[in-house]
Amino acid sequence: MKQKSEVFEVFKKWKAMVENETDLKVKRLRFDNGGKYELGEFKKFCGLNGIHLESTPSGTPQLNVIAERMNMTLTERARSMRIHAGLPKMFWADAMCTFIGYGGDEFGYRFWDDKNRKVCTFIGLPNSGIESLMASCYAVATQGAMEITVVSSRVSTPLESYFKLSQGQSPKTDVEREYMAKVPYTSAIGSLMYAMVNTRPDIAHAVGVVSRFASNPGKHHWKAVKWIMRYLRGTTDLSLCFGRGKLTVKRYVDADFADDQDMRRNTIGYVYTMSSTAVSWVSRLQKLVTLSTKESEYVAVTEAAKKKIWMKSFLQELGLKEEN
């Protein structure tokens, strides 16, 4: 939002999106005595939709600690992104949008028009269109009329935590099915799996999550796939580096608890390193439903131990001895 007066329209859109994605109703809204939440139309809208308004006492930000902490986190990360990119303070809002997402299904190319003092967004351009646009922008810039600065839309994590994917997000109407029929979802999953199996252990968990819905993907699943591709585009310089050193095998293993939104199964993951380089990695759902985090960890360690036994016999066949 650029102005506080937009809060009502933004809230209505947010309410519709949340209720559509979760099949739950917004019942309470807590705010910090902001006058924008007590406007006549806002208060009337909440009353008609059965939303109870709660206000915190004055001077008690600790009662709204989650929102306050999230605002601080977003501000600090956006500031770090802006400073790292070498952009002036006037780009703080664009840095914030880059971190939390611009919204919508498309991500465009964003250019800074120094003459008109604004950011221009171009969406849906083919490669030839991008090259032509860059050429024309460069021609204008060389004449002193415009200075071009590209604001990156790359991301720093393979899959953001707010992607709570489930079968409930699969297409439910003919329009949604027709839209997803044109999306190369399975082809994209295959390409991501190829990269994950060979050289990119960092996307193993993310690819494992989106591949669960290959039989009936929805728009939200496709957004998660595009997020992974944005991450790969921004980390093309990452690679596995093999060198000489002691032949030591180390194991790292972990498991979550009931993160699967449909079956409430746990995801296990482990990675084996040899001479400080990853050589084997796995991220997949457990085959059974565990009743506690301790049981989940035991199952994960057992799966990883099976791989350890195989690697030990493999090294013995090669005539190599693991060093302690």
What is the arrangement of strands in the sheet containing 277-285, beginning at the earlier edge strand?
Answer: 249-255, 267-274, 277-285
What radius of gyration, in Å, describes the C-alpha atoms of the chain?
24
The predicted model gives 174-192 an average pLDDT of: 89
92-96, 126-130, 247-251, 315-319: which range is least confident on average?
126-130
| % residues pLDDT > 90 (the chain) | 6
Q: Which of helix, strand or coil describes residue 285?
A: strand
Tell me whether residue 67 is in a domain. Answer: no
Query: Residue 116: which domain range?
Result: 102-153
Model confidence pLDDT, tens digit, residues 90-137: 777 777 776 555 554 445 556 666 667 666 665 554 444 444 544 444
Residue 118 bridge partners (DSSP): 113
> Among 314, 317, 232, which residue's Cα sits nearest to residue 274?
314
Do residues 202 and 176 both lie within one domain?
A: yes
pTM of the model: 0.52
**Rounded-to-integer distance, Cα 168 and Cα 24, Å:** 12
CB atoms inside a 10 Å sphere around CB 32: 16
**Rounded-to-integer distance, Cα 96 and Cα 81, Å:** 9
Tell me whether residue 184 is in a domain. Answer: yes
Tell me whether residue 201 is in a domain. Answer: yes
Confidence grade of residue 217 (pLDDT, cut at 50, 70, 90) = very high
56-65, 91-100, 183-192, 257-266: which range is least confident on average?
56-65
Q: Which of 234, 263, 281 is the last residue of a domain?
A: 234
Q: How many distinct structural domains can be found in the chain?
A: 3
Q: Is the dihedral of CA 41, 5, 121, 67 positive or negative?
A: negative
Model confidence pLDDT, tens digit, residues 25-73: 888 887 766 666 666 788 888 888 888 887 766 666 666 666 667 777 8
**Rounded-to-integer distance, Cα 44 and Cα 211, Å:** 44
* H or E, element range at 56: none
Tell me whether residue 224 is in a domain. Answer: yes
Tell me whether residue 79 is in a domain. Answer: no
Do residues 112 and 147 both lie within one domain?
A: yes
Structural contact between residues 125 and 134, judged by C-beta atoms closer than 8 angstroms: no
| Mean pLDDT value across the chain | 77
